[in-house]
Amino acid sequence: MIRRFSLADLKRVVEIDKKSFKVPHDEWVFRYYYFLSPKNFFVYEVEGLVVGFILFEREGHLLYLAVDPLYRKRGIGRRLVDEAKKHLKEGAYPWAEVRRSNLAAQSFYQSLGFIREKVIPNYYGNEDAYVMVASQKTSGSC
């Protein structure tokens, strides 16, 4: 089940984030974006347990997406991106930065029809980012 994030979910989101990213994000990052745009933060729940989340901007930028390692490869990440797409501004297309070394996320976005648009050198300090963009940007089909 997908629903909007509430502050009661913060602990689980931080836990999942820690298990998911090379450099985990501080709790304040999630609080900040939640207070900024509470409607752009969704969680995926399985039997009452939050197992994934997505945070995005309505202009299309997918800011943070992660699924608990125990629940990956079940279509949860795809459903979270699909949910975000429903809430983008008209005409906006989703895109995300991905670490050059994060091959899993690159394959994930490619499976969803994203293409690698450009490289941002040293975006993560000592590592480049690929900007992955939904291919409808170029094909015109959503």
Ligand X SMILES: CC(C)(COP(=O)(O)OP(=O)(O)OC[C@H]1O[C@@H](n2cnc3c(N)ncnc32)[C@H](O)[C@@H]1OP(=O)(O)O)[C@@H](O)C(=O)NCCC(=O)NCCS
Q: What is the binding site for ligand X (CB under 6 A)?
A: 20-21, 65-67, 72-78, 96, 98, 102, 104-105, 107-108, 111
Q: How far apart, in whole angstroms, are the C-alpha atoms of residue 67 and residue 65?
A: 7
Q: Which is nearer to ligand X, 16 or 34 (CB)?
A: 16
- 83 assigned to active site: no
Q: How far apart, in whole angstroms, are the C-alpha atoms of residue 40 and residue 115?
A: 23
- 97 assigned to active site: yes
At residue 117's C-alpha, the angle toward residues 115 and 120, to 5°, is 130
Q: Which is nearer to ligand X, 56 or 90 (CB)?
A: 56
Q: How far apart, in whole angstroms, are the C-alpha atoms of residue 110 and residue 28?
A: 30
Closest approach, Cβ 121 to ligand X, in A, equals 17
Closest approach, Cβ 58 to ligand X, in A, equals 18
Q: Which is nearer to ligand X, 10 or 46 (CB)?
A: 46
Contact 14, 61 (CB under 8 A): no
Residues catalogued as catalytic: 97, 109
